[in-house]
């Protein structure tokens, strides 16, 4: 699965009944019902470790498993995926499948998922000389994460989240500004948007919007 080496293949079905029984104490009746409605089958497909591959052990990561989760519907409850990713006690790459499509998911400080793709079309590249590096490469591939400067993986995830939240707020304010009829209120909204964009530029590049304009002008002389 995912173009991984044959040496990593294990193929083991985990009966859903056993999952529900084993984690009964961790699941409310509502969660159990939702999980049963969403998840049809769970299959461990690959083990990536120092045993299955010629890789050095990691400080934090010693192995991870690729697990296929067959879903009954694409409109699933994400908390059921979080439950699998966090409760099984292992680092997991989840291949969520439904009909003829699939998407990848994993937990790294939060649930990270890519978009639906045709089944069997996705591959993972195991990059790195130890398990820590390989896991980081897998997370960045699935989450489309570009690590900047000296950031750690978790720092970059947190930074990207802040930027996404800020952009969402800016988009909301821009809609309000376009719809606003009162000039004074429109001006106030535009000022707020400008301040937020300054904050975004300052965090990303260490400069303010006004400075960016000056530097560009100087550069063009």
The pLDDT of 195-215, averaged and rounded, is 56
* 133 and 62, same domain (yes or no): yes
pLDDT band for 209, please (50, 70, 90 cuts): very low
Residue 26 near residue 79, CB atoms below 8 Å: no
The pLDDT of 96-118, averaged and rounded, is 96
10-14, 145-149, 174-178: which has the minimum mean pLDDT? 174-178
* 158 and 128, same domain (yes or no): no
Residue 203 near residue 165, CB atoms below 8 Å: no
* 24 and 131, same domain (yes or no): yes
Bridge-partner residues for 93, per DSSP? Answer: 66
Asked whether residue 1 is assigned to any structural domain, the reply reads: no
Range of the domain at 81: 6-143
* 47 and 125, same domain (yes or no): yes
- Report CA torsion sign: 8, 112, 38, 76: negative
* 67 and 128, same domain (yes or no): yes
Count of positions (residues) in the chain: 221
* 167 and 138, same domain (yes or no): no
* 107 and 194, same domain (yes or no): no
pLDDT value of residue 204: 60
* 131 and 213, same domain (yes or no): no
Alpha carbon 70 to chain centroid distance?
Answer: 19
pLDDT value of residue 201: 61
Q: How many structural domains comprise the chain?
A: 2
Could you tell me what percent of the chain has a pLDDT over 70? 90
Q: What is the mean pLDDT of the chain?
A: 88
pLDDT value of residue 213: 44
Domain boundary among 123, 143, 163: 143
* 55 and 136, same domain (yes or no): yes
- Give the other-Cβ count within 10 Å of 141's Cβ: 18
Alpha-carbon distance 86 to 109, whole Å?
10
């Amino acid at each position: 699965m995912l173009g991984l080496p044959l040496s990593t293949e294990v193929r083991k079905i985990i009966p859903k009944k056993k999952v529900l029984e084993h984690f009964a104490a961790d699941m409310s009746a509502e969660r159990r019902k939702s999980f049963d409605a969403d998840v049809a089958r769970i299959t461990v497909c690959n083990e990536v470790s120092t045993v299955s591959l010629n890789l050095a052990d990691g400080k934090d990561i010693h192995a991870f498993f690729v697990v296929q989760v067959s879903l009954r519907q694409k409109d699933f409850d994400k908390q059921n995926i979080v439950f699998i990713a966090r409760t099984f006690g292992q680092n997991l790459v989840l291949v969520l499948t439904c009909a003829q499509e699939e998407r990848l998911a994993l937990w790294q400080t939060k649930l990270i998922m890519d978009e639906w793709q045709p089944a069997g079309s996705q591959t993972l590249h195991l990059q790195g000389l130890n398990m820590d590096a390989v896991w980081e490469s897998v997370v960045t591939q699935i989450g489309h994460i570009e690590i900047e400067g000296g950031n750690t993986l978790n720092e970059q995830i947190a930074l990207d989240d802040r930027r996404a939240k800020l952009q969402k707020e800016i988009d909301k304010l821009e809609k309000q500004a376009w719809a606003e009829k009162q000039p004074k209120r429109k001006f106030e909204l535009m000022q707020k948007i400008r301040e937020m964009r300054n904050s975004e530029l300052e965090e990303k590049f260490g400069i303010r919007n006004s400075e960016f304009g000056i530097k560009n002008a100087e550069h063009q002389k």
